[in-house]
Structure formats: C-alpha cells, structure tokens
Amino acid sequence: MLQTLRNWKRRRLLAQAAIPELLWREALESLPFLAVYTDAELERLRERVVVFLAEKSILGARGFEVIPLMRVIIALQACVLVLNLDPRYYDGWESVIVYPDEFITDLEYEDEAGVVHRAHEPLAGEAMPQGPVVLSWPDVEASADWSSAGMNLVIHEFAHKLDMRSGEANGCPPLPAEMPPRSWQKAMNCAFDHFRARVEKGEDTPIDSYAAESPAEFFAVLSEVFFADPTLLVHEYPKIYELFAWFYKQDPASRTELLLET
C-alpha cells in the first residue's frame, strides 16, 4: 500500500514538476562527463532529478541566490550516483545548502564515539550524517568539468551521503545482502593501503592524493573517478572498478569505450 502510494505520488510529481527542456539541456552541457550516457539513461536521470528537487530543499546561505540552473546542476550530479539504486538511499535528510564561497559551518555533529565535530577550516563541501550536504558554489562550478578540474565536488559529497546511511562515513556504505561487508572491506582496505603507500612515497598519482586521507575519503574520491573518468579507475584499480560497478549498478567505462569506437 505504501509503495503504491509512493508510486502514485511520484507519477503525479513527474507530471507536475517537469524541468523545462532548455534548462535541462543547459545543465547537461555544463557536465561533459554525462555525454556518454544513453538517451534512455538521461531520461531516467531526469525523472530522478525531478523527484530529488521536489523532496530536497536547495537553499542559499549568506544571501546567496540559488538559481534554477544551479539547482538542476547539483541535483543531476547527486542523482547520477543513485540512477540505478533505490531512491530511498537519500532518505532521512532534507537539504542542500549552497554558499557563495568556501565556508566554515556553524553546524556540528556528534559521531558514534560521542566526539563533537565542527569545521575550523574553510571547506568546499561537507556532508553530515542525517544532516545537510553543504557546497561552495564556485567549487561546484569549477569541478563540473572533470577534464579541467580532475575532481567532482558534488559526486564526492553525495558518495559520503551514501556511506553515511549506516552512520559515520567509513568507506563501507550499507551493502545489498549478497555482498558480505567483509569482502568489500578486504578489497577496499587492500587498495587503500596500496594507494596510501604510493602517496607516502611522494608519487604524483593520477588519482587525487586526498584519497589517502582515510577509507571514507578513498571511497568518495574513487566514486568521483568511477563516474567522471571511469577508464582511469579501470587502469589504476580494476578490482575497485568492478566492485563499484556492482555497487552502483552501472558500467561507465563501457560507455566511454563505446564512445571512443564511434
């Protein structure tokens, strides 16, 4: 019954809150990594974006005005992660807060050990367990084009959000029943240790060295690479690519290869 009601609400929403074509196109063009998505995938992504924008508030902080194009650009990247996942993965929190620049939040949260966290240095983005995702707009804008930025802030923070479904981010999001967390952790820990050793040796890694900070950052940074530069992840850590393809139920590298063949 609940599912029926949910589906009915969703259909009504899709009919009422459609995104104007011009706005949709403009948002897509500002995110070149989406060029490899098929028309059918983009249509599904558009539906996800409509629902996301209806369910979440995207609010400007410090007087910043969030225009419709910004809302769609943020929602599009957030929804890429859950395109083939249960939409309820983003349940349990309500808003995305957008700052006009890097920010120091007044927000604080308590982790499982009872330690209260509060940011003291300016941040480009932050995700809080059961709380908002906070983004600096100039950093969202600068990281929309992977080929020039080599990072994607929105994907990064929303990967943390998936990780935080089970509490504090630790690099191991809740997994479907068929994958024991131990197998996930084994593969991720092995790759993380390998990557951290490379960074400690001073290697100029093609993957952002920030991934060596912690298992949580490793998951978030590698999720950026998985979606925005999938062949890089295939070359660097093929086992993690396979793991993510299974987890996200997407195979972005195969799309890129198809594009290169045509």
* Contact status: 191 vs Zn ion (CB under 5 A): no
Distance between CA atoms of residues 247 and 240, nearest Å: 10
Here the contacts of 207-215 (C-beta below 8 Å, separation 24 or greater) are 207/232, 207/233, 207/236, 208/150, 208/151, 214/171, 215/170, 215/171, 215/172, 215/188, 215/189
| Least distance in angstroms from the C-beta of 118 to Zn ion | 16
Judged by CB under 5 A, the number of residues near Zn ion is: 2
| Least distance in angstroms from the C-beta of 120 to Zn ion | 16
**Residue 124 or 253 having the CB closest to Zn ion:** 124
Distance between CA atoms of residues 254 and 230, nearest Å: 9
**Beta pairing, strands 108-110 & 57-60:** unpaired
Which of the ranges 42-50, 86-94, 111-119, 215-223 carries the binding residues for Zn ion, by CB under 5 A? 215-223
Q: Would you say 61 and 49 are in contact if contact means Cβ atoms under 8 Å apart?
A: no
| Least distance in angstroms from the C-beta of 156 to Zn ion | 6
**Residue 44 or 109 having the CB closest to Zn ion:** 109
Considering only residues 29 to 58 of the shown chain, the ones binding Zn ion according to CB under 5 A are: none
* Contact status: 155 vs Zn ion (CB under 5 A): no
* Phi, psi at 127, each rounded to 5°: -125, 135
Q: What is the DSSP string of 192-231?
A: HHHHHHHHHTT---SS-GGGGS-HHHHHHHHHHHHHHSHH
* Closest to 62 (Cα-Cα) out of 100, 93, 28: 100
| Least distance in angstroms from the C-beta of 175 to Zn ion | 20
Which of the ranges 25-33, 101-109, 213-221, 224-232 carries the binding residues for Zn ion, by CB under 5 A? 213-221
* Contact status: 220 vs Zn ion (CB under 5 A): yes
**Residue 19 or 80 having the CB closest to Zn ion:** 80
**Residue 26 or 168 having the CB closest to Zn ion:** 168
**Residue 139 or 217 having the CB closest to Zn ion:** 217
**Residue 120 or 182 having the CB closest to Zn ion:** 120
| Least distance in angstroms from the C-beta of 137 to Zn ion | 18
Site residues for Zn ion per CB under 5 A: 217, 220
